[in-house]
Structure 1
Amino acid sequence: MTEASDGAPERRASVGAKSPGSGGDYDPEAVPVRDAATVMILSDENDPHVLMLKRNSRSIFVGDMWVYPGGAVDPEDATQIADETVSGLTDDDASFQIGIERGGIAFWVAALRETFEEAGILLAHHDHPVGVDDPRDLPSGIIDLSPPDVAERFSQYRDEVNAGERDFIETVRSEDLLLDGDNVYFIGRWVTPLGSPRRYDTRFFLTAMPDGQVPLPDHDEAVEHQWVRPADAIRRNETGDMVMMTPTIGMLHRLARFGTVADAVAAAGRGTPDDDEHVRIRYDNEGPHRIAFPADPDYLESDGSTEVGILRWPLG
């Protein structure tokens, strides 16, 4: 779920941290940074559209904002059995891609779990020998959730997972499925700036929406969904109609540079650490205004104090 659970990994001691308004002194340095993952899911409707979810107004973190599916990395995402439930990707490969020593595959598991919990999209396929097609999967290789009996069964699974009555990985394995690590690509990393009452070290991923599935918000954390063109989403954010966080907007600016979903996904798939762009934030009188990329004329004039802001989504 998008709200970080108490068991999510932390990299700073939280002793002494108090949220603003909770009474006592608030020490921003003591706020823990929690690992998180989020996914940009793309669909072709003449040109690229991206799936966006509106957060519940009751959410403690970014309530009423528009986001991509995602949330905190849970301890269950980092188990050996979870590692073995991802196809096309080893922990060594995943860890290298995101720049850590080990445990990287947990970010892919978290991204795929959150996508199922929040949006009802399951990026998984049946476990079968290489080169053998499974009739329960779509031509793209992803499970077909369109048959009514299958849709009803997995809808019940999702409700139970969200209620804490069922384990996500056990559910995947019980259906003889593997999570699709082959076609979910790492494209960036952002750390919530110092001063926020909640901070996340978030890895961003990209994938294409499979046929045979439709987004269904859980109406708890995500109350609405829309498929939007990146340029339209940027414009609507500027008018206040679709409020987003700065990294979310930055990713939309890069997506807007691609003419098709295939081009955007192919670029994400060929990205390497050598392609990393260390982005900066441009401020105005009201605070963070937009992302500045290295090729932008005002890049050097922008704030370079962002703890981590990396984009790995090459244009060339």
Structure 2
Amino acid sequence: MKDEAPAPPPIRDAATIVLVRDGGTDRARVLMGQRGAGAVFMPSKYVFPGGAVDPGDRSVTPAAPLPEAERRRLVQLPVTKTAPSPEAMAAAAVRELWEEAGLMLGRPGPWPGEAPADWADFASAGMLPAGDCLRFVFRAVTPTGRPRRFDARFFLARAEDLANDPDDFSRATDELSHLHWIGLAEARALDLPFITEVVLAEAEAVLREGPQDSVPFFDNSGPESMFRRIA
């Protein structure tokens, strides 16, 4: 009797921040860091700060809401059975930036109740996550055959909206090393995952041309890979 193939890993909802600074595309730089060589998912690759949506993110109320156009696009074409709200996705992106880079996209304000454990330090600084400065620019589901799979939403944000120094990584965790700001063209020479290269090109297009009419979606959730546009 042949051994049964192991069950594929579940798809988890995730959020990522593409944080840029210094204006237009000619001078713009993007924040990137390198995953550890021993990481299960994308070892040694340079990526944007990001990760899975945590349970605590679902109860976070932002200081300012996402723009309505962003909310409408984020709720379309759900893949997981318990897809988080747009606010939870935005909160996860802000939290991951805080944890992995020590940078805070937030506004001053009191928390409506006790902050979830993952948000304790953010809340103790008297800050609430900011949703109004995020722009939903890309979405991708990890293909089958990978050790971990995510339904990842990528948000574009600007360093001008940070509440702290964009060059101060002293409060970052060790999940990403070699955190640095790098020009968009120079970033392409790094060891990037394929999807990161695609997102980088999309972010550059948004910076050059302004908001797009729809969001690209690489949907690998089914038996066949599909490219969609979320209008």
TM-score normalised by structure 1 residue count = 0.58
SS at match of 2:210: helix
- State the Cα distance separating 1:93 from its structure 2 match: 7.0
Name which of 196, 200, 204 aligns with 1:252. Answer: 200
Structure 2 residues not aligned, in runs of 5+: 79-83, 111-115
Contact 1:190–1:309 (CA under 8 A) maintained in structure 2: no
Aligned to 2:53: 73
Aligned to 1:177: 127
Letter in 1 for 2:18: M
Q: How many residues align?
A: 210
Aligned: 1:187 with 2:137: yes
Per-residue Cα deviation, 1:196-250 (whole angstroms, up to 9, x for no partner): 121000000000113641251735211111222222222x1xxxxx211111100
Aligned to 1:125: 107
Aligned to 1:106: 88
Per-residue Cα deviation, 1:31-56 (whole angstroms, up to 9, x for no partner): 20001000100011761111111111
- Rounded Cα–Cα distance in structure 1 between residues aligned with 2:155 and 2:42: 20
- Rounded Cα–Cα distance in structure 2 between residues aligned with 1:64 and 1:103: 31
Change (3 A) 1:94 1:168: farther
Per-residue Cα deviation, 1:235-271 (whole angstroms, up to 9, x for no partner): x1xxxxx21111110022233446xxxx45x824xx4
Per-residue Cα deviation, 1:173-196 (whole angstroms, up to 9, x for no partner): 343322111111111110000111
User: Taking every aligned residue pair, what percent have the same amino acid on both sides?
Assistant: 27
Letter in 1 for 2:214: D
- Rounded Cα–Cα distance in structure 1 between residues aligned with 2:173 and 2:130: 25
- Rounded Cα–Cα distance in structure 1 between residues aligned with 2:129 and 2:105: 6
RMSD (Å), alpha carbons: 3.2
- Rounded Cα–Cα distance in structure 1 between residues aligned with 2:202 and 2:69: 25
Contact 1:190–1:203 (CA under 8 A) maintained in structure 2: yes
- Rounded Cα–Cα distance in structure 1 between residues aligned with 2:219 and 2:51: 23
SS at match of 1:42: strand
Aligned: 1:275 with 2:194: no
Aligned: 1:306 with 2:225: yes
SS at match of 2:138: strand
Structure 1 residues not aligned, in runs of 5+: 1-23, 129-165, 237-241, 282-304
Change (3 A) 1:208 1:60: same
- State the Cα distance separating 1:280 from its structure 2 match: 9.3
By relative contact order (CA 8 Å, sep 6+), the higher-ranking structure is 2
Name which of 57, 79, 92 aligns with 2:37. Answer: 57
Contact 1:50–1:230 (CA under 8 A) maintained in structure 2: yes
- Rounded Cα–Cα distance in structure 2 between residues aligned with 1:309 and 1:50: 26
Contact 2:71–2:86 (CA under 8 A) maintained in structure 1: yes
TM-score normalised by structure 2 residue count = 0.77
Contact 1:193–1:307 (CA under 8 A) maintained in structure 2: no
